[in-house]
Chains A and B, each alone.
Chain A
């Protein structure tokens, strides 16, 4: 048993479990003959361990060695036994200078691309077909088709998937292309690190010489002026040398607040495409595609059940599917409709609790800045009647109440009024983009 292992065993019996798990377990030891180097994952843990435990650790070591303990050092770093299949980040590996004794996170193929996010696994539907078509085209002709490509849409709708798919396609067409995907927040973190370590020139060179730069969630640049400035220059350098830039955000470029105007306007130079929440058929197709990827059989009635009940976003859909598959795997039972209902019971109860007719009325009234009582009143002016029809349609879509029950909850109206409202809103969503947008926004608010 190594010295450190003995020390850990002693600490485990001496410290309350919470403290032991929080501060001792994350430490990794590199043991040499006359030295023990403890690696802490970050500065915070390092300082805490130094202030609270190092004396106790040194005392135990002295006790085990009979007065000639090895030298004890604590530094920031990580041993090589990290997560399996870990892909190092693109730039940070070369700027973390303080992990002496630990294996450096070197990196020769700094793409960060996830191979499983490709066009084959991206399910096309009405909600994303333009975004998908544009992305395909860019993947085949980077730097020339549309530059930059700006993809926007709500959380969990597949923006990141599409970005990876483009990156993978660029590399498939040209294996020597340098494609870098990263989250905007990582760009900021790496820049800060580069500044700290006087490596900002390396940082600039790294990002300004790639063939395709894919930055996810650019809204996180908001308020970070120095990063925005650096990104502005990176953007210009890549744009001028006709290298592809792909950006994503949860909103339209002009609406991303906290960004400098010069960046915002550049984001809109190329092509801007939206991804909308998927409709039922697409949700079902997504579930079936994911099940296929996971090599599982998913009966279509189960796919329809999950697709109907989980509408907010694709991540949640995938979470629900994984839950059903895991339960079936553990219990050895086949996936039937009843099995799926049982497996997702807690999830659906939680969701049902959130979406009630009252909640829909309140949300719709707030959205259109009218009173809830107006929705229940007999008023027939368009500024009241339209929100009322939208609220009725949402109640039909999001709750399991019957048409008469919905009519009743809206000031005692007849079920045919609810039916008419549903048809009317379906038609208007096709014809009037503002109504389509209002409906989508409300749906997102109520289900996320």
Chain B
């Protein structure tokens, strides 16, 4: 049988509230972010938790929602601060929503802290909404500027927790469904037994399976998946750079 070549156009579901799998522990946080986005909730929220619990996903979902409603939004990935400059925050208070991701990456950097502090003040004057995420609670971030620390505590803070072992297969099947892939329960269990259980790596696996199943015109059965993933000799090495959360 001729192998069908996948088209160069791949379907990449963008981060939205609909594609966020909150599990039992993160529903309140997701609700609060959604409320802030729709203008019914707080004007400022802080989200914290370890990597891969969905902070970036929620921030980008909020941006996406307002952007498609023709509102102005800004998303600043502070983890990439070495390529950016604090001047990047100038004037952002005129946006309807500003999202600062990975705050810990600039904690202790005087120029960035000062710029974020100014942004807080300007946002308050301008009435814009602010969503900040970091890997620790505000009190534990090594911030040098006490004024910034106090402003960061000025709204509700939500801890995003990892999904439980029981929730992971459901989350994985949901992720597949958003890619319009049908992932049987036993295949999901198979993947979770053999590959790293973080959502980022799992997104990468799904992307690979998406391509191979399309090319081979096969369903995602356990035998097919086993065969398709044989090329990935070292499962842990298959970590795509695309952010899933």
Chain A interface residues (CB < 8 Å from chain B): 12-13, 16-18, 21-22, 25-26, 28, 41-45, 76, 78-79, 81-89, 105, 112, 114, 154-156, 183, 185-186, 189, 217, 250, 312-313, 315-316, 318-320, 322-323, 326-327, 330-331, 346-347, 350-351, 353-354, 448
Contacts and interface: CB of A to CB of B under 8 A. Distances in A.
A387 B94 CA distance: 50
A322 B88 CA distance: 30
B245 to A, nearest CB: 10
8 contacts: A22-B76, A25-B63, A44-B87, A81-B70, A189-B118, A316-B153, A330-B32, A330-B35
Given A88-B126, A326-B41, 9 more contacts: A17-B243, A18-B243, A21-B75, A42-B89, A44-B84, A83-B96, A83-B127, A315-B154, A347-B137
> Top 5 nearest A-B pairs by Cβ distance?
A155-B150, A83-B128, A323-B156, A346-B159, A350-B137
A26 B74 contact: yes
B211 interface: no
A125 to B, nearest CB: 19
Given A319-B156, A322-B42, A43 B87 contact: yes
B73 A25 contact: yes
Contact of B87 (A42, A84, A156): A42
Given A44-B88, A319-B155, A79 B72 contact: yes
Contact of A78 (B63, B77, B91, B157): B91
Nearest to B87: A44
A225 to B, nearest CB: 17
Given A41-B92, A327-B28, A346 B70 contact: no
B206 interface: no
Contacts of B124: 114
Interface string B84-118: 11011111111110000000000000000010011
Interface of B: 9, 12, 14-15, 28, 31-32, 35, 39, 41-42, 60, 63-64, 67, 70-77, 80, 84-85, 87-96, 114, 117-118, 121-122, 124-129, 136-137, 139-140, 146-147, 149-151, 153-159, 241-243
Contact of A217 (B42, B67, B147, B242): B147
Given A17-B60, A17-B243, A350-B140, A42 B91 contact: yes
B96 A81 contact: yes
B153 A315 contact: yes
Contacts of A85: 127
A167 to B, nearest CB: 13
A346 B74 CA distance: 28
Nearest to A24: B67
Contacts of A155: 146-147, 149-150
Nearest to A327: B28
Contacts of B140: 350, 353-354
B88 A183 contact: no
A81 B242 CA distance: 31
A219 to B, nearest CB: 9
A16 B14 CA distance: 10
Contacts of A330: 28, 31-32, 35
B155 A82 contact: no
A259 to B, nearest CB: 17
B155 A322 contact: yes
Contacts of B9: 13
A326 B94 contact: no
B146 A41 contact: no
B178 to A, nearest CB: 14
Contacts of A351: 139
A187 to B, nearest CB: 12
Contacts of A156: 150-151, 153-154
A84 B125 contact: no
A250 B146 contact: yes
Contact of A76 (B89, B91, B158): B91
Nearest to B36: A326
B125 A326 contact: no
A287 to B, nearest CB: 14
B70 A347 contact: no
A325 to B, nearest CB: 9
A21 B72 contact: no
Contact of B67 (A25, A79, A88, A112): A25
A82 B128 contact: yes
Nearest to A29: B70
